[in-house]
Chain A
């Protein structure tokens, strides 16, 4: 078993790391404060092929495997978790279901646009009364002639106000329960598409999050993704992959917290010595590093299994559960190491602390992850 990246993967990681240091990190704090979407950065990422990392070459992307993709998301998130989640949603939750379930026409139409970054992707699953219980969604889709007419409200949509291509779900046959849900490829300029409230959040402030409102929205019937009634299956399998991205995002946030802590503890002196010479600090650093390493291996394992075409729901759930806990723990310790300064906006660890919290909530809460893990063991 080989537990390291190959040379090409290292080269890609180094390129993305360099890009993140040059282009993403410098403005991350300001974008967070101003709640400013990273438009320019996404454009540059598209030019380098990073934005559409998993899109196959025949549709204009580099067609990366998921191990490399996870590495990229980690590196981006290490610089800016907001840009990390936008990239993850664009790939895992928008491009991937089209790659996996789309018709040739749908792939040829939408994937190149996503690869070039002309439109940003989003995923419309959650509703005000249907979060973890996705099967309880109320949005409806009714076929009338050549169009489905969609009605409903989606909420907590990453990139909501900025997205151009949205994978959305609605009930086509209420009687069939979850098997009556269907998936659609939505364009933001479809008639009846509206952006609702934009949320003020604790963290990941540069990734704009909003409601999406469908009011008698006309969706051409060729934009049905998969078959009618396959929506729930499509949503669950898509979210399995998305969890690898979010887990990688969490590892990136935790890694940034570790690096900040190591640097600060060597430079900050108390009692005549750098605080890194005190065991209290050393143990925190050791705990952070150990958990991050373990979390990263869980992410890589889930990504590797996905690349091998094996079942990976449990592994992705484990990776996300543990990485999210690690991100919250590591950023908490980072604030402790920075002391009073860590609680101020002068230093970057407060942003990491705020950004970390969401990773245990979106794309499946930690509790849902435990349901998935235990469910696969207790079947």
Chain B
């Protein structure tokens, strides 16, 4: 079983602060990590490899410094990694095309696993887009997987209902964070990860025809919440009336 896991290096969103004067998130000096749900995907891939034998390759798209983060997944038990350096301004369309091409160039791949979304942008598009670009079926939002030699069964969280789906290979699955608890690598595995191969691919060398972004990112701003700090007190009846009037005026009562 040849398995590919897609993992993204993100900034630790819990550490981000918003500059109050510009409204922009301050990203300098924020530690980076592998997006949490991608680690769930990696854990699932490694469990499937342990059950069915085979190989796990991690793919990431990002700057050269992602090399260090990707070693976390190599330490967990993946066999090798591919780091794709994207062109400037790459959007979901471009990145999914790059990943799909890299996977196709790897030869026979049976299973592609992605997190349902990354913790920074949380668009949830990447998995489905890669499946589309590869023209293979996809099972999204899997919270339980049973992989067998000939087919894979996934229990999927579709919001108000649970759906059980089955597919033959090749197939792409996106997983939710409920699916497992990612293992901690041992110190020996961490030390061993340094010797596992990481192949670097540069977008212009990959023969991907369509590298023009369809979305232009103009700006990113933090959500500002300004409190009104109005306090209604003294006469209770009057206070309730005033509160209701104010809420109504602001459209908070629908």
Contact = CB atoms under 8 A, between A and B. Distances in A.
A239 interface: no
B187 A19 contact: no
Contact of A8 (B184, B186, B188, B191): B191
Contacts of B190: 8, 11-12, 15
B72 interface: yes
B148 interface: no
A47 B71 CA distance: 20
B191 A62 contact: yes
B187 A8 contact: no
Nearest to A63: B191
Nearest to A50: B187
Given A7-B68, A11-B71, 14 more contacts: A8-B190, A8-B194, A11-B68, A11-B75, A11-B190, A15-B184, A15-B187, A15-B190, A19-B184, A22-B184, A48-B185, A48-B187, A49-B187, A57-B188
Nearest to A53: B187
Contacts of B187: 12, 15, 48-50, 53, 62, 64
Which of the listed residues A53, A57, A62 has the most CB atoms from chain B within 10 Å of its own CB? A62
A378 B174 CA distance: 67
Interface residues of B: mostly helix, strand, loop or mixed?
helix
B194 A47 contact: no
B186 A47 contact: yes
Contacts of A50: 187
Contacts of B71: 7, 11
Interface string A46-86: 01111001000100001010000000000000000000000
Nearest to B185: A15
Which of the listed residues A15, A22, A50 has the most CB atoms from chain B within 10 Å of its own CB? A15
Interface string A1-41: 00000011001100100110010000000000000000000
A53 B68 CA distance: 22
Interface in B204-229: none
A48 B191 contact: no
A47 B184 CA distance: 10
| Shortest 9 CB-CB contacts between residues of A and residues of B | A49-B187, A62-B187, A48-B186, A7-B68, A49-B186, A49-B188, A62-B188, A15-B184, A19-B184
A85 B146 CA distance: 43
Interface residues of A, number: 16
Interface in A304-334: none
A88 to B, nearest CB: 16
A53 B191 CA distance: 12
B235 to A, nearest CB: 23
B67 to A, nearest CB: 9
A168 to B, nearest CB: 29
Contacts of B194: 8
A66 to B, nearest CB: 14
Contacts of B185: 15, 48
A22 B183 CA distance: 11
Interface in B36-90: 68, 71-72, 75
Nearest to A57: B188
A48 B72 contact: no
Which of the listed residues A22, A49, A64 has the most CB atoms from chain B within 10 Å of its own CB? A49
B69 to A, nearest CB: 9
Interface string A126-159: 0000000000000000000000000000000000
A7 B75 CA distance: 13
Contacts of A8: 190-191, 194
Contacts of B186: 47-49, 62
Contacts of B188: 49, 57, 62
Nearest to A7: B68
Contacts of A11: 68, 71-72, 75, 190
Nearest to A6: B68
A198 to B, nearest CB: 32
Contacts of B72: 11
B195 to A, nearest CB: 12
Which of the listed residues B68, B71, B184 has the most CB atoms from chain A within 10 Å of its own CB? B184
Interface in B169-187: 184-187
A48 B184 contact: yes
Nearest to B67: A7
7 contacts: A8-B191, A47-B186, A53-B187, A57-B188, A62-B186, A62-B188, A62-B191
A47 B183 CA distance: 12
